[in-house]
């Protein structure tokens, strides 16, 4: 009889714990997909993409100016100074 009672209590505890965990997980998932959260994530992604694009353009321009200076030096042409 004690064995059955032990397993009954263990089963009850496991069921209660797992239902609490699933409920918590579902609530968190629902909160992640509310319109405000989705909009915040999209805005953060767009800001990061904008920063990446700015950095890529700046790097490309710097490489272009460097290569132009090399070509001008090879031809003996006067150097052109570009704004940063």
Distance from the first to the final alpha carbon of the chain: 84
Quick check: is 51 in a domain? yes
- C-alpha count within 13 angstroms, C-beta hemisphere, residue 50: 6
Verdict on whether the full-model pTM lies above 0.85: no
Quick check: is 83 in a domain? no
Quick check: is 81 in a domain? no
User: How far is residue 28 from each of residues 9, 15, 45, measured CA to CA in Å?
Assistant: 29, 20, 21
pLDDT per residue as tens digits for the range 41-82: 889 999 999 999 999 999 999 999 999 999 999 888 787 777
> What integer is the mean pLDDT of 32-46?
88
Same domain for 28 and 49? no
Phi, psi dihedrals of residue 33, rounded to the nearest 5°: -110, 20
The domain of 7 spans 1-32
């Amino acid at each position: 009889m004690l064995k059955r009672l032990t397993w009954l209590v263990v089963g009850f505890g496991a069921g209660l714990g797992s239902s609490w965990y699933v409920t918590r997980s579902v609530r968190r998932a629902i909160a992640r997909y509310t319109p405000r959260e989705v909009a915040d994530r999209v805005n953060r992604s767009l800001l990061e993409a904008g920063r990446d694009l700015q950095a890529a353009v700046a790097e490309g321009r710097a490489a272009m100016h460097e290569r132009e200076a090399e070509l001008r030096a090879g031809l003996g042409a006067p150097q052109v100074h570009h704004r940063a």
